[in-house]
Structure 1
Amino acid sequence: MTVRVLILPGLFNSGEAHWQSQWERQFSGLHRVEQQDWETPNAKDWVERLNQEIAAADGEVVLVAHSLACTLITRWAQQYPEARKVRGALLVAPSDTEADSYPSGTSGFVPMSTQRLPFPTIMVASTDDPYVTQERAKTFSQAWGSELVWVENAGHINGQTGYGPWPEGAELLFKLTGDPQFQLK
């Protein structure tokens, strides 16, 4: 059975140049979870939407989160601890919603969860992300039980910082799914 990959953009969604959008065009079977409000998200609404998508999947799912969506996954896992259908998650550029640098307008995403996630996770963090310090990224990866992968000077690991196709990220997704379409050739 094929694993369903759910794409979870963060605040403001992921534009055309973003690696999540490019992966959707490049690979088969990826599905973006559409949220009702990308500009001023409410954690309760986002968690419910994610839960609907996971519940609707025929088999196991792998979650691919960027930025605020990493926090979304931790909130979802707290509310739905059974999480049996989730095979793993790729957590990219987690935002520290408690930091002064985090944009205003979101509600319900603080405090940051430090609860261990009940499925395997790989967290990718940049050494110069404006929305999370290296120290906080390490703290989150340890708390969540994530394998931590550092990317040097990658900003927020998005389209604006040159992360379009991002084949190295797809290789990390291969580790979670086992699906050969994500392997570097």
Structure 2
Amino acid sequence: MIPHLLIIPGLGDSGEKHWQHFWLQKFPNATKVVQDNWNEPQLDQWLNRLTQTIHKLDQPTILVAHSLAVSLVLHWVAQNSNPNIIGALLVAPADVDSPDHTPDFLRNFAPIPTDKLPFPAIVIGTENDTYCAPERVQFLAKKWGSTFINIGYEGHINSDSDLAFWEEGQQFLNQLIAQINPTK
């Protein structure tokens, strides 16, 4: 059985063609963090919303973060804990530390925390993501104590990647669930 999924979109939200949108339709146990301002993100505001949402959880939950939301999750972990968070699927992190990969208005999410995560996680990157170099994604995954998976040439793993229900991602989710110790 799949635990509760907390879908955490990045900059601009996840549109109708984004795999996160499809997952919200597919998994009845999925909910989404909704930010007040998707296009001019402020770390403190986004963190407050994520914290409020997580505090309402009453069941084991896997965080499913994309792009800027990966940095958001790492900032949340650096300041908080919640026993209901049992794992994370961290997809296509945006390198908020790099002016070559992300716009300056995202620098308030930098530096991206690099402490080891207190729960199992899988970090997924690509060879051709314009928002983060594959070597950087692999480096971050290692720092976070997470499994790293490079899925080749799928860009930023977003709406432009046209992945619909992203069956391959669902396999990675099942792999993560298998890693999670059910006795925690």
TM-score (norm. length: structure 2): 0.91
Matching residue of 2:71:
71
Give SS of 1:135's match.
helix
- Once structures 1 and 2 are overlaid, which stretch shifts more, 139-148 or 1-10? 1-10
Matching residue of 1:92:
91
Separation (CA, whole Å) in 1 of partners of 2:6 and 2:158: 17
Q: What is the CA distance between 1:107 and its match in structure 2? A: 5.2
Separation (CA, whole Å) in 2 of partners of 1:156 and 1:2: 25
Conserved in 1, the CA contact under 8 Å of 2:58 and 2:84?
Answer: no
Conserved in 1, the CA contact under 8 Å of 2:94 and 2:101?
Answer: no
- Once structures 1 and 2 are overlaid, which stretch shifts more, 168-177 or 53-62? 168-177
Separation (CA, whole Å) in 1 of partners of 2:42 and 2:136: 23
CA RMSD in angstroms comes to: 1.5
Aligned AA for 2:87? G
Paired residues, number: 177
Conserved in 2, the CA contact under 8 Å of 1:126 and 1:155?
Answer: yes
Matching residue of 1:14:
14
Matching residue of 1:52:
52
Matching residue of 1:183:
none
Matching residue of 1:132:
132
- Once structures 1 and 2 are overlaid, which stretch shifts more, 71-80 or 53-62? 53-62
Q: What is the CA distance between 1:168 and its match in structure 2? A: 1.0
Q: Structure 1 regions of 5+ residues with no counterpart? A: 179-185
Q: Structure 2 regions of 5+ residues with no counterpart? A: 179-184
Give SS of 2:149's match.
strand
Matching residue of 2:182:
none
Conserved in 1, the CA contact under 8 Å of 2:97 and 2:111?
Answer: yes
Identity, in percent, stands at 38
Matching residue of 2:38:
38
Separation (CA, whole Å) in 2 of partners of 1:106 and 1:123: 20
Matches within 5 A, 1:112-131: 112-131=112-131
Conserved in 2, the CA contact under 8 Å of 1:4 and 1:57?
Answer: no
Conserved in 2, the CA contact under 8 Å of 1:67 and 1:94?
Answer: yes
Aligned AA for 1:96? D
Q: What is the CA distance between 1:11 and its match in structure 2? A: 0.4
Separation (CA, whole Å) in 2 of partners of 1:119 and 1:108: 25
Separation (CA, whole Å) in 2 of partners of 1:48 and 1:176: 27
Q: What is the CA distance between 1:75 and its match in structure 2? A: 0.1
Matching residue of 2:173:
173
Q: Which digits, 9 at most, give the CA deviation of each residue in 1:135-164, with x for residues without a partner? A: 211110001111001111110011212222
Q: What is the CA distance between 1:44 and its match in structure 2? A: 1.1
Separation (CA, whole Å) in 1 of partners of 2:2 and 2:158: 27
Give SS of 1:123's match.
strand
Separation (CA, whole Å) in 1 of partners of 2:3 and 2:164: 23
Separation (CA, whole Å) in 2 of partners of 1:94 and 1:144: 12
